[in-house]
Structure 1
């Protein structure tokens, strides 16, 4: 989809590190496997519970990649992002809001449906603020 090409280009400005480029590639693959859901598909919206306020402001201002809002304290922004990221995890992966790092073991039979969100309001919304940060 057209939005994804622009989003990918923006994400690539975040870092040239191999690890970051691998994350972008995995995001693109995941979105493809999820069928590139339209932005109007509410099932693919990441929760806004505890998400950084700057994301909401960026959306309200028209989702312009050139319109990067001042983050304020990068430490506080990072904490806010991390708290949101932990909040969206499946219950088996993060037992408490303060758990860090998250469980990484591959647990048989556990589901990722709460985080398997594609489209412009899905996992992209998790990666976007990392570029700002």
Structure 2
């Protein structure tokens, strides 16, 4: 399983109030989503959560998290991506916004994510654009497949199964088991850049949304484990 999450004498709290001002350079105002709210009630995965309102940033979060949260919510990408943000927030709050032992493995990672990291995660330049969503989808799936824990299996149509709950009692997360600025934030960045590029583009957007739902399911399981682990201490 690797290193354990940072521990504490109290479970993580997630106050749902607005965060302090970000230190990011000024950008355009937040952009509302054009995605249909009806899609939120018909998730591709029965267990996938949906969050209709944009998740708020905990006011006592670390500055790196406040900055990242501001970036990942600048454009509203809809209820399924909001569920990813919500699960990531829970995970990082349970980890006390500390840094994990290493980085999320980059094998197969879309080039745009590496470019974003080199700009100090958007602080020294604009976010990269996804000019070829189909090629990005191929790179994303290669990376996401590599990161999956050994207990995950694919169903008959080649998609990761979300039936039967989380394997190994929800305690083994393989290469995904990283937290902090070098952890699962890179997944959110990839999905965000991709989602901005395909909004309103039919099948390209459908492919993106299916991946978002799968990431939300995995991060929800990880967040529950991190929270449960910390309550033992």
Report the TM range for the smaller structure's normalisation.
0.7 to 0.9
Equivalenced residue count is 127
Tell me, yes or no, if structure 1 residue 58 matches structure 2 residue 116: yes
Root mean square deviation, CA, Å: 2.2
Q: Give the deviation of 1:14 after TM superposition.
A: 4.0
* Ranges of 4+ aligned residues in structure 1 off by more than 4 Å: none
Q: TM-score, normalised by structure 2?
A: 0.49
Bigger radius of gyration: 2
Match of 1:15 among 73, 76, 81: 76
Cα contact 2:148–2:174 (8 A) shared by 1: no
Correspondence for 2:145:
86
**Cα gap change, 1:24 to 1:84, in 2 (>3 Å):** same
Q: Give the deviation of 1:85 after TM superposition.
A: 0.9
**Cα gap change, 1:82 to 1:15, in 2 (>3 Å):** farther
Q: Give the deviation of 1:113 after TM superposition.
A: 4.5
Q: Distance in 1 between matches of 2:109 and 2:159?
A: 18
**Cα gap change, 1:16 to 1:58, in 2 (>3 Å):** closer
Greater relative contact order (Cα 8 A, min sep 6): structure 1 or 2? Answer: 1
Q: Give the deviation of 1:16 after TM superposition.
A: 4.6
Q: Give the deviation of 1:62 after TM superposition.
A: 2.6
Correspondence for 2:88:
27
Q: Where do 5+ consecutive residues of structure 2 fail to align?
A: 1-61, 195-233
Q: Where do 5+ consecutive residues of structure 1 fail to align?
A: none
Q: Distance in 2 between matches of 1:119 and 1:100?
A: 31
Q: TM-score, normalised by structure 1?
A: 0.81
Cα contact 1:37–1:44 (8 A) shared by 2: no
